[in-house]
Amino acid sequence: MTEKNNLLEKLFFQPSKIPDAVAEALAQKLPEDAVSIFAFCDLNEQRQFTENWLIATDHHLVFAKVIDGEATNGAHISVPAVELTEIPFGRIRTLELLEGFTLNRLDVIGEEENLLLSVFFTRRQIRAIGNVRFVVEQKCNPKTDAPTNGTQHDVEKPEEKYRESVLQAIREAKSTVITRQQNVFARLMSYLGPHKKATIAGFAASIFLTILGLLPPYITRVLVDDVLQPAETGKLADPSFWIWVIIGSLALVWTGSVLMNFLRLRLMSFVGERIATQLRDELYQHLQKLSLNFYHQRSTGSIISRVTSDTDRLWDFITFGIIEFIISLLTLIGVAIALFLQDVSLASLVVIPLPLMLYLFYRHSSRMQGMFLRIWRKWSALTAVLSDVIPGVRVVKAFAQEDHEIERFSGRNKAVREEAFRIHRTWTRFWPSMVMLMHLCSMIVWAIGAPRVLEFVQTGGQSGMPLGVFIAFSGYMWMFWGPLQHIGMMTRTFNRAITSASRVFEILDTTPTIVTKKDAVKLSRLQGKIKFRDVTFSYDGIRNVLKTVSFDVEPGEMIGLVGPSGSGKSTLVNLICRFYDVAEGSITVDGTDVRELDLHSLRKQIGVVLQEPYLFHGTIAENIAYGQPEATLDNIIEASRAANAHEFICSFPDAYDSVVGERGLTLSGGERQRISIARAILNKPRLLILDEATSSVDTETEKKIQEAMQRLVAGRTTFAIAHRLSTLSSANRLFVMENGKLVEQGTHQQLLEKEEGVYAKLHKTQAELQALIAV
Amino acid sequence: MQMNTIKLRRRSDGRLTLMPADESNGATATPVKVVRCFPWSLPTRYISILDDKNKELFLLENLEALEDKVSRELLINEISERTYLPQIQKIDAIEDEIDLFKWRVQTKSGERAFFTRRREIPREVAGGQVVLKDISGDRYVIESIDALDEKSRNWLWLYLD
């Protein structure tokens, strides 16, 4: 909780609440007033970053200017001085926001057209400032927006509102706001749990593999020191038998390590694949459960990449990353031990340059990472040209700009080449120098070891180093480099895996906001009686998109919703589907609150036809039967006839078997619309929602769709949103929405009779427009 | 009324207003907004003066040609406030935060931390300035990359150009 509250400080170095000094000054000056809402003003008139506050209390708008106080009387604590400017709401006439690139200004204008106050802030604060402005305007003019139940529009938890309004931008852009690396790693490892046996076997195989890998140099040593040399001096009976023993054990070691390597790769790649599949399934299942507001905040691309590339990266990490890290570490330790067992002084000499090598590998890996970052950027610039120009190739040709485009592409292509050259220059330089260094280390071993071997031979084994030890030593030396390289790259591998894992877990941790209650009522057959009681709804918790909307709709009634865009029509129908929950008031369907209903049983009986119908990849028949996969072919044709779609479908060569959707047959807007109507008809919904279903088609098609809709609407409760009033001619009643409120309702005739009414005006304008076209 | 003879004044509530050409017939001042048509390529040319309904009243082709000195200064002030950009003088760090880059910078206006989207490509404008846009829409400017210190340039090399 505290971590969450401190996010603003962590991310933006911005206070996450009003500082105590300001709160105290406020309490002193306005003891009666409680803070209602506040915002941070991070710029001043001199365009310097500062820490000022704009606060709305119960009766005042307060501007708190924080002046960094000098330490007084030699004390070390600096007490910031606070300068308060308070304006009673009664003196404020209006608030004006002037937006700029980065600097924005809110002017508080008084009753006599005089400027009472100007505050400055960056766009980061604009939401929070907007909230303050909204609340102040509400309090200044309580009559224009009648608050619910006569109480003031009070903001709950002002601190949370303030923090959320600033963090919103991050939430929209980024997957996670908080990352706790250790937790993410532990959680990722917990996925190995169900595959305990395979994992343990895989790890065991890796350990054996490491040990077996350490044996060959030792066997060589035995061959040289314990077989060949004694054989030369005749001390060993039956040397050829021992030679075969050695060859045999070498063969055993190699076979064993091939087997172990096979085991660990096979086991771990399967475990990795199982976990990746499980994560993908979990992700997709969870995505289907999540409410719409989750999708509003994220781009499709970012969600897709989590299900695909992030899980793939985790597969790679589980299969290779962890095990290779362990093998490298064990090998390093094993080789070091082996070296020390052979010869302590020479071993210490060899181990000394190890940290240096490790550092070099690490530095190389991070430098390459930087260069990969750059080339990735250049690549995406190159692909951007392609995805920009290829779809627009008609325009390029029409304006004869081929040469210009070739030049643009070739410029970016060159930039990619330059970066690639840089990368190649670096690695081609790095590897030979590393090999040089390795050779240098061997040369040191030779320079020190070889004379000692000579000494051993000359003294007849009294002092010095046996030849076998020397050979084994050289062998072990070369086993250092591989693991060193792996460990040097480890930070990068870990970081990538943790990043992917946190992106995946972030989705899994998002809880759906709209869920079916435990003891929910299952609707067997919806009658279609809809009742709104004082429904107030807001997407952000501040600005109400719907304000105390109340109405009753009888079963079978068709309601036309009209009003300017942004007046709340779509929000209203979204609430009937319970895509969101109301903030205040209630919505009942057949006498039961929608929040008490089983979500599935409710939505299954609602048919929705949208302005831009969505067809999935598949045949036309499959698309029509989307909500009713068990529908018979007769049903499908019947529904298509009712939707005026049968004839045009039959005109396609593949008729109902035509594949549509992405990479399929291209259909016109009207055709798609009619298919989606057929889909709705087949679903036999009890409640129908038509959201601007005919606004993007030509008149002829609209007529056909109208006919289809007449059939669809018959006997069903229907809400139809439309801009063209003619579309709603068959509506029983019209609801006119304006600014989140239901301002008029009645039949077409009744509404026309109100001369100054919103609907009457709307109707007049559209009629005039029609006349204009007729001329 | 001639374009170059228009008069602008600040009203008591702080708003910039366009004075009527002839005050005798009771015409009043109109509150206006000022927009640069080419904020990056031609900062002092083609200044559009709009009323509150975004209807263009005048298109001033050249700010320098405006005859009334007070109006010219008011316009310059108004534009400079609308287009103010914190100037980045030093980059302390750029951190990779999954989908974002976190910048910690020293600007002419003080210290600042902000986030940019990974895919947001900074725009280079005429005169070699580089303009960055953060996730909230705030913009920052680097007047000249060459004038930055080496550490700052290294950060940019990694994450920017």
Which of A455, A479, A513 delimits the end of a domain?
A513
Closest CA relative to residue B137, chosen from B118, B117, B152: B117
Residues A531 and A547 occupy one common structural domain: yes
Q: What tens digit of pLDDT does each residue of A241-269 get?
A: 888 888 999 999 999 999 999 998 899 88
Residue A417: band (very low, low, confident or very high) from pLDDT cuts 50, 70, 90: very high
* B89 confidence band (pLDDT: 50, 70, 90): very high
The answer to whether residues A619 and A702 touch, using CB atoms and an 8 Å cutoff, is no
B97 with B77, same domain?
Answer: no
Element (H, E) at A437: helix A402-458
Q: What's the mean pLDDT when you consider all of chain A?
A: 82
Give the best residue of B108, B109, B125 to mutate against chain A (max A CB count within 10 A). B109
Query: Is there a single domain that holds both residue A582 and residue A615?
Result: no
Q: Are residues B65 and B105 in the same domain?
A: no
The verdict on a CB contact (< 8 Å) between A373 and B158 is yes
Q: Which of A147, A173, A199 is the last residue of a domain?
A: A173
Range among A61-70, A145-154, A466-475, A657-666 rated most confident:
A466-475
In this prediction, residue A142 carries a pLDDT of 61
Distance from CA of A458 to the nearest CA of B (A): 59
**B114 → chain A, closest CA residue:** A12
Cβ within 8 Å, pair A173-B111: no
Q: Which of B43, B61, B112, B137 is nearest to A99 (CA)?
A: B137
| Domain assignment of residue A362, yes or no | no
- Residue A568 in this model has a pLDDT that exceeds 90: no
Higher pLDDT, A699 or A467: A467
* DSSP character at residue B19: P
pLDDT bracket for residue A13 (50, 70, 90): confident
**Selection from A523, A514, A136 nearest residue A293 by Cα:** A514
Residue A120 pLDDT level (bands cut at 50, 70, 90): very high
- Find the residue in A nearest to B95 (Cα): A11
CA distance A231 to A750: 119
**Chains A & B: contacts with CB separation below 8 Å:** 106
The shortest CB-CB distance from B109 to any of A47, A126, A176 is to: A47
Residue A734: pLDDT over 80: yes
Chain B residue at shortest CA distance from A172:
B135
Which residue among B58, B82, B106 closes a domain? B82
Task: Dump pLDDT digits (tens) for A380-410.
Answer: 888 888 888 888 888 999 999 999 999 999 9
Domain boundary, last residue among A659, A684, A709 = A684
Find the mean pLDDT for residues A420-427. Answer: 91
A710 belongs to a structural domain? no
Specify the DSSP element, H or E, that contains A750. Answer: helix A748-753
- For residue A681, CA distances in Å to A558, A645, A692 come to 16, 12, 17
**Interior/surface letters A368-385, b for 16+ CB within 10 angstroms, e for the rest:** bbebeebbebbeeebeeb
Please, what's the b/e burial string for A457-467 (b: 16 or more CB within 10 A of its CB; e: otherwise)? eeeeeeebbbb
Q: Name residue A373's amino acid.
A: L
A58 phi-psi bin (left φ>0, alpha ψ -120 to 50, beta other): alpha
Q: Are residues B112 and B140 in the same domain?
A: yes
Q: Is the pLDDT of residue A28 over 90?
A: no
Chain A residues touching B86 at Cβ < 8 A: 47, 49, 102
User: Both A80 and A212 in a single domain?
Assistant: no
Highest mean pLDDT among A144-158, A168-182, A657-671, A745-759: A745-759
Contacts within 8 Å (CB) and 24+ apart, A465-468: A465/A343, A465/A346, A466/A221, A466/A224, A466/A225, A466/A229, A467/A224, A467/A225, A467/A229, A468/A220, A468/A221, A468/A222, A468/A223, A468/A224, A468/A225, A468/A226, A468/A229
- Cβ of B11 under 8 Å from any chain A Cβ? yes
Following CA atoms A696, A700, A703, A708 in sequence, which dihedral angle do they give, to the nearest 10 degrees? -80
Which pLDDT score is estimated for B105?
A: 93
Residue A709: per-residue pLDDT:
74
DSSP codes of every residue in A381-420: HHHHHHHHHSTTHHHHHHTT-HHHHHHHHHHHHHHHHHHH
The structure tokens 């052979």 sit at A342
- Full residue range of the structural domain in which residue A196 is found: 178-343+487-513
Number of other residues whose CB lies within 10 A of the CB of residue A444: 16
Q: Indicate whether A206 and A319 sit together in one domain.
A: yes
Q: Is the pLDDT of residue A30 over 90?
A: no
Q: What share of chain A is helix, strand, coil (3-state, %, to 5)?
A: 60, 15, 25
Answer whether residue A74 shows pLDDT above 60: no
* A70 band by pLDDT with thresholds 50, 70 and 90: very low
Q: Is the pLDDT of residue A182 over 70?
A: no
Range(s) of the domain holding residue B98: 88-159
pLDDT in tens, B109-130: 899 999 888 777 777 777 778 8
Residue A664 sits in the same domain as residue A767: no
Same domain membership, residue B45 and residue B113 = no
Q: Is the separation of the CB atoms in B73 and B64 below 8 Å?
A: no
Interchain CB contact of B40 with A (< 8 Å): no
Last residue of a domain, one of B82, B111, B142: B82
pLDDT in tens, A289-319: 888 877 876 667 778 888 888 888 888 888 8
Specify if A386 maps to a domain.
no
Give domain status of residue A390, yes or no: no
Q: Is residue A364 part of a domain?
A: no
Q: Residues B32, B55: one domain?
A: yes
Question: What 3-state class would DSSP assign to A431?
Answer: helix
Same domain, B100 and B140: yes
Asked, for residue A403, whether it belongs to a domain, the answer is no
What pLDDT shows up at residue A79? Answer: 62
Judge whether B54 is closer than 8 Å to chain A, CB to CB.
no
Which helix (H) or strand (E) segment is A491 a member of? helix A490-509
Same domain, B34 and B78: yes
A73: confidence class by pLDDT, cuts 50, 70, 90: very low
CATH label of the domain that carries residue A250: 1.20.1560.10
Which residues pair with residue A606 across a beta bridge?
A687
Q: Is residue A562 part of a domain?
A: yes
Q: Which of B82, B104, B139 is the last residue of a domain?
A: B82
**Segment among A613-617, A664-668, A742-746 with least mean pLDDT:** A664-668
- Mean pLDDT calculated for residue range A659-664: 71
Question: pLDDT tens for residues A121-168?
Answer: 999 998 889 888 888 888 877 654 444 443 444 556 788 888 888 887
Per-residue pLDDT band for A71 (boundaries 50, 70, 90) equals very low
pLDDT category of residue A413 using cuts at 50, 70 and 90: very high
pLDDT at B28 over 60: yes
Domain count, chain A: 4
- Distance in angstroms (rounded) separating the CA atoms of residues A165 and A637: 51
Query: For a pLDDT cut of 70, what percent of chain A falls above it?
Result: 92
Q: Is the pLDDT of residue A275 over 80?
A: yes
Query: In this predicted structure, what is the pLDDT of residue A345?
Result: 80
Q: Average pLDDT in the A461-483 region?
A: 82
d(CA B61, CA A767): 41
pLDDT reading at A543 higher than 50: yes
Beta carbons of A174 and B100 less than 8 Å apart: yes
What count of other Cβ atoms lies within 10 Å of the Cβ of residue A302?
14
Q: Which two tokens stand for residue A227?
A: 């077989």
Choice among A22-36, A168-182, B34-48 with the minimum mean pLDDT: A168-182
CA atoms of A533 and A618, how far apart (whole Å): 42
Does residue A619 sit in the same domain as residue A752?
Answer: no
Residues B15 and B57 in one domain: yes
Confidence of residue A180 (pLDDT cuts 50, 70, 90): low
| A356 falls within a domain | no
Please tell me the predicted confidence (pLDDT) of residue A695.
63
Q: Give dist(CA A18, CA A39) in Å, integer.
A: 9
Question: How much is the average pLDDT of B75-96?
Answer: 88
Considering only CA atoms, give the Rg of chain B.
Answer: 20
Same domain for A281 and A241? yes
User: What is the tens place of the pLDDT at every residue in A336-389?
Assistant: 888 888 778 888 877 887 888 888 888 888 888 888 888 888 888 888 888 888
Best mutation target among B85, B138, B141 (most A Cβ atoms within 10 Å) is B138
